[in-house]
Amino acid sequence: MKRSLAFLLFLAAAGAQAQEKATIQTSGEEVLVDVVVRDGKGRAITNLPQSAFTLTDEGEVKQITSFALVKGTESVSQAGATAKLDALRQIRLISLIFDKMDQGERASTRQAALEFLKSEFPPNVYMGVFTLGDELQAIQGFTNKRDLLEQAVNKALSRPSSQFSSDSAQLRESLEQNFLGPNQTGNQDLFTRQGQMPVSTDPRDPGSAASMINAIMARSVVEMISFNDRTEMSLQGRTTIWALLAAVRGQSQLPGRKAIVYFSEGFAIPQGAEEEFQSVISTANRNNLTFYPIDAHGLTETMQNGKATEGLSAAANGASQSGGVGNPMSSGSSNPFVSKINIAQAQDTAIDANHSNLQDTLQIMADETGGFLTANTNDFRAPLQRIAEEIETYYELTYNPHIEKYDGKFRQISVKLNRPDLRVQSRAGYFALPPDMLKSTGMNIYEVPLLRALSNIVPNKALPFESGGMHFRGDGRVETCGFLIDMGLNNITLRENSDKSKMLGGLAYVALIKNAKGIVVKKLQGDMPLELTRDQVISLKQSRFTDMEYFDLPPGYYTVEVAVLDKESGQTNARRNAMFVPKQGEGLAMSSVALIRKWRPKEPDAAPEDPFVVGDKTLTPTLVPKINKSVSSSLPFYVVVYPDARNPDKPEMYIEFNRDGNVKKVAASELGAPDAQGRVQYIANAPIGQFDPGNYAVSFVVKQGTERAQENFSVLLEP
C-alpha cells in the first residue's frame, strides 16, 4: 500500500514563522511555555518582570531567551513595548468536549456550557463542539457564531454521545467538500487532498489571512475526526485516552494558545496505559494546548475515590486468601501455584485501584498542561469565566533545552516564582523527540516505547521480524525507495475482551531512516489492531504481517532503524539495516532484487506506479533470505530493469552464485520489451537444485552493449 508521509505542510510564511516559537526546532531550537500567575484570591497577576521567573528543564535551570505578556491580540515585552501578534497567533481555539454522562449530569452540564457561551469573548476566539463516547464525534466545527454554538451544545447533550456518528460524518463531508476540494480519483487520501487545496498566503491581505485561518480550522476538525478513525482500534479501557489524543493532535495546525474544556465524569488510567496517557499530555504541551476538565458529577456526597477504596479492599482480600503476599507458601492455600496466581492478581488489582480515582486523572490532565480542574461544585460560572480569561491573557517564556540526545524521555519542566504568595500554572513537560520529525508526521501513542527501543537497540528473540529497504527508479533526481517489514504473528499476545466474546491485541512499528551523518530524514510508522473470534486465532498464528511504505530519497548511504511492539504484552524488538541508494542517471539501471513469497490479485485502488503491481497481480516480497531445497527447487525473484533508451542493444541478464569463492553462473531467460514507463518488470525462478546447501552471495547482472548494472543479495539454501 502506498501512504502519504507528509502531514499538512501548507502553512504560509507568517504561519510558519509563528509556529517556530510554538515548537522545538532542530536548529536554534526553542521551547515555548505558557504561564498563568494568580494570587491567593485567584486574581490574575499581569505585571511581573522576567526576573521573577525561574525555569528548569530536567532539574537544570535554563536561561529564558524571550519573555512577554500576551493580552488578546497583542504581545507586551519586558520593556513595555506593545506589538500586534500575526494573524495566525491571534486566533484562540476552545474545544468543548462532552464525555459520557447520565441524563441528570447532561442537564446540569448543558446549563453550565450555555452560561459559558454567554461570556464576552473577543472575535478572535473560536469554539468547536464535540462528544466523546466510544470515539470522538464532531457536532460543530470551529466558529465564533454564538447561535450555532448554542444549538450544538443543546444537540450534544440531548442524547448519548454514541448516537452522533452520522452527524459527525455529515460535518466531515461538508468540511471536506468546502475546504479540501473534490476527491478527484475517488481514492485520494485526506492528506493528498489537503495538499491540493490552494490557500492564499499574503500576510498583508486581511482577506487572505481570514481565508487561511478558516481553512486551517476546518482542516483541524477533519483531522481530529480522521485521526480518531485511525485510532479506533484502541483496547478496552484506553478508548478515552486515544480519543483525547485525536482531539489534541487535530489542533496542531494553528500556533498560539488553545484549550479543551472537557466535561467528564473522569476516567481511570488502565494498568500499562501510563505511557499512552503521558503521550496525550506531551502532545498537548507541544501543541500549546491546555486542558480545563470539569467534573460533571458536580457537588456530590459520593466519594470520588470510592472505586479506589473498593479496589484496594479487593486486593487485600485476594492476598489474604492466598496466605498473604509475604508468604506465598503459607498453609492458607493448599495449592502453592494457585496461591501465587492469587497473589499476582491481588497485586494487579491493587495497582489498578491506585488508578481508579477518576477525579485524580482529570486533576493530572489539568496540572500538567497548565490548566485547572473544576470539581465538587454545582456552580460552574466562576471557573468558566476564569477559563475565558486565561485563554486571552498569559505570559510566554521561551528557552533553549540544548537536547543532546532525542531519546524519547519525558522531560520535566518547572516554572517557579520568587514570590511565595503567588501560584503558577504551567506545562509539565514534553517527550524529547526530533522536532522536524514531529512536524512532518506527528506522533502516535504507540510510538513512545518504540522510539525508546531505538535509542538502545537490543535484539529480542521472542518477537522476531525482518525489515529492509529497496530502491526503484523514480522521477527527477531522486530514487523511489520502499521500506518493507515482515513479521510472523505466531508470537503476538492476545487477551479476552470484557465479555469474553473476542480476542484483542495488535502490533505496531516505527522506522527511522538516517543519512550518513546520522540525521533522521524519514520517519515511518504503522500498526495493525487485532479483534478476533476464537475460531480465527489459529489462522492468525499461521499468518504474517507485511507492510510496504514508499518514499523518495537522494542517492547515498542510509541506515534503517526499526522497532516493533506487541501492544498487549508491551514487548519490543529493534534492529538496524544498511541501505544504499544509487545515483540516478539516464543510462542502464536496475532496482533492488526482491525474493517472492506470494501473489495476490491487484487491489482496485492500487497505484499504477506501484513497482510491485505486475499486470493484474500484486507481488508480496519476503525478507527472509532462506530457501528450503526440500520444499522448493527454484529461487523465485523479481527485479525491475531500466534499459537505456538511447542504446540500440538489447539488455541481457545473468545470475552469479558465489559460495566460499566458488562461482556458478546461471543464464536468465530473455528480457521483455519496456513498458510505457520505460521499465522491464522481470520475474523468474533461478534453479537451485544443482547447488549444495549453504550461504550464497548472489549477484544479478544486466548488460546492454558496454553498459552494465548489478544488484547483490545473500541467501541461505537449507537441505
Q: Which residues contact 287 (CB under 8 A, 6 or more apart)?
A: 22, 248, 249, 251, 252, 258
| pLDDT at residue 310 greater than cutoff 70 | no
**Predicted local confidence at residue 498, as pLDDT:** 75
Flag whether 47 is in a domain.
no
Q: How far apart are CA 696 and CA 662, in angstroms?
A: 10
Strand 634-642 versus strand 589-590 pairing type: antiparallel
More confident residue, 193 or 377: 377
In 3D space, the residue among 455, 444, 449 whose CA is nearest the CA of residue 405 turns out to be 455
pLDDT of 496 strictly over 50: yes
Average pLDDT over residues 369-382: 86
Inform me whether the pLDDT recorded for 38 exceeds 60: yes
- Say if CB 124 and CB 91 are below 8 A apart: yes
Asked if residue 21 is part of any domain, the answer here is no
Please indicate, yes or no, whether residues 268 and 149 belong to a single structural domain of this protein: yes
Centre a 10 Å sphere on the Cβ of residue 88 and count the other Cβ atoms it contains: 24
- Look at residue 98 and tell me if it is in a domain: yes
User: What is the share, in percent, of the chain residues with pLDDT greater than 70?
Assistant: 72
Distance CA 394, CA 44 (A): 9
- 441 vs 444: CA distance, rounded Å: 9
pLDDT in the model for residue 292: 94
Same domain, 570 and 612: no
Residue 463 has pLDDT above 90, yes or no: yes
Predicted local confidence at residue 598, as pLDDT: 82
Q: Which residue has the higher pLDDT, 209 or 450?
A: 450
Which pLDDT band holds residue 179 (cuts at 50, 70, 90)? low
Report which listed range, 161-165, 327-331, 640-644, is most confident.
640-644
**Nearest-angstrom CA–CA distance, 220 and 487:** 35
Alpha-carbon dihedral angle through residues 686, 688, 691, 696, given to the nearest 10 degrees: 60
Q: How confident is the model at residue 456 (pLDDT cuts 50, 70, 90)?
A: confident
What's the chain's average pLDDT? 75
**Are 197 and 214 contained in the same domain?**
yes
307 pLDDT exceeds 80?
no
Q: Using one digit for the tens of pLDDT, what is the confidence trace for 616-649?
A: 888 888 887 788 877 777 778 899 999 998 999 9
Give φ, ψ of 164 to 5 degrees.
-105, 15
Lowest-pLDDT choice from 7-21, 116-130, 426-440, 627-641 = 7-21
Kindly state the helix (H) or strand (E) to which residue 12 belongs, with its residue range: none
Question: What local confidence, expressed as pLDDT, does residue 154 receive?
Answer: 93
**Taking 70 as the threshold, does the pLDDT of residue 559 lie above it?**
yes
Look up the CATH number of the domain holding residue 257: 3.40.50.410
In a domain, 219, yes or no: yes
pLDDT at 248: 86
Q: How would you class 540 by CB atoms within 10 Å of its CB: exposed for 0-12, middle for 13-18, buried for 19 or more?
A: middle
The band of 57, judged by pLDDT with boundaries at 50, 70 and 90, is very high
> Residue 185 pLDDT > 70, yes or no?
no
532 shares its domain with 666: no
**What is the C-alpha separation between 251 and 287, in angstroms, rounded?**
7
Residue 231 vs residue 87, higher pLDDT = 87
Q: Of the ranges 14-18, 281-285, 450-454, which one carries the lowest mean pLDDT score?
A: 14-18
Confidence band (pLDDT; 50, 70, 90) for 162? low
Q: Please indicate, yes or no, whether residues 248 and 335 belong to a single structural domain of this protein.
A: no
pLDDT at 635: 79
Q: Give the integer Cα–Cα distance in Å for 85 and 74.
A: 5
User: Across-strand partners of 652?
Assistant: 703
Q: Which residues fall within 8 angstroms of residue 72, CB to CB, at 6 or more apart? A: 90, 122, 124, 392, 393
Tens of pLDDT along 425-441? 888 877 776 666 565 55
Distance CA 286, CA 303 (A): 34
Task: Please report the pLDDT score of residue 303 as a whole number.
Answer: 44
- Say yes or no: 610 and 650 in one domain: yes
Residue 353 has pLDDT above 60, yes or no: no
The helix or strand, by DSSP H or E, that contains position 228, with its residue range, turns out to be: helix 206-230
Residue 425 located in a structural domain: no
pLDDT at 26 over 60: no
Minimum mean pLDDT range among 33-37, 454-458, 603-607? 603-607
**Which residue matches cell numbers 519542566?**
413
Of 23-37, 99-113, 386-400, the range with the lowest mean pLDDT is 23-37
Cα–Cα distances in angstroms (integers) from residue 703 to residues 164, 482, 591, in the given order: 63, 25, 14
Q: Which of 526, 553, 584 is the last residue of a domain?
A: 584
Rounded to whole angstroms, how far apart are CA atoms 440 and 419?
A: 41
Q: Are residues 122 and 256 in the same domain?
A: yes
Q: Is the pLDDT reported for residue 8 higher than 70? A: no
Domain boundary among 565, 584, 603: 584
Grid cell in block for residue 502 = 473476542
* pLDDT at site 152: 92
Question: Given strand 82-84, what is the order of strands in its sheet?
Answer: 82-84, 74-77, 64-71, 393-399, 31-38, 423-426
Q: Do the strands 60-62 and 429-431 form a parallel or antiparallel pair, or are they unpaired?
A: unpaired
Question: How far apart (Å, rounded) are the C-alpha atoms in residues 593 and 669?
Answer: 16
100 shares its domain with 139: yes
Residue 295 lies in a domain: yes
Question: What share of the chain has pLDDT > 90, as a percent?
Answer: 17
Residue 555 within a domain? yes
pLDDT digits (tens, 9 = 90+) for 500-544: 888 988 899 999 898 888 888 888 888 888 888 888 888 888 888
Residue carrying C-alpha cell 540500440: 648
Close Cβ partners of 151 (under 8 Å, ≥ 6 residues apart)? 140
The whole domain housing 680 covers 587-719
Radius of gyration of the chain (CA): 29
Q: How far apart are CA 145 and CA 277, in angstroms?
A: 33
- Looking at the structure of the chain, the number of domains it has is 4
Do 263 and 326 fall within a single domain? Answer: no
The closest alpha carbon to 191, from 225, 217, 219, belongs to 219
Same structural domain, 103 and 238: yes
Calculate mean pLDDT across residues 482-489.
89
Is 538 a member of any domain?
Answer: yes
The Cα 26–Cα 181 span in angstroms is 33
Q: What is the pLDDT, as a whole number, of residue 314?
A: 41
Q: 109-118, 580-589, 704-713: which range is least confident on average? A: 580-589
Average pLDDT for 320-345: 37
At 704, is the pLDDT very low, low, confident or very high (cuts 50, 70, 90)? Answer: very high
Q: Are residues 96 and 235 in the same domain?
A: yes
Going from the C-alpha of 306 to that of each of 149, 240, 298, 301, 553, the distances in angstroms are: 36, 21, 16, 11, 56
Residue 322 has pLDDT above 60, yes or no: no
What CATH number is attached to the domain comprising 616? Answer: 2.60.40.3020
- The conformation of residue 51, written as its DSSP 8-state character, comes to G
Q: Examine the pLDDT at 105 and tell me if it is beyond 90.
A: no
**Selected residue with higher pLDDT from 5 and 181:** 181
Is residue 80's pLDDT more than 50? yes
Q: Are residues 128 and 276 in the same domain?
A: yes
> Hey, what's the cell of 159?
442524547
pLDDT at 215 over 50: yes
Q: Which three cell numbers stand for residue 624?
A: 527472509
CA atoms of 493 and 510, how far apart (whole Å) = 19
More confident call, 332 vs 329 = 332
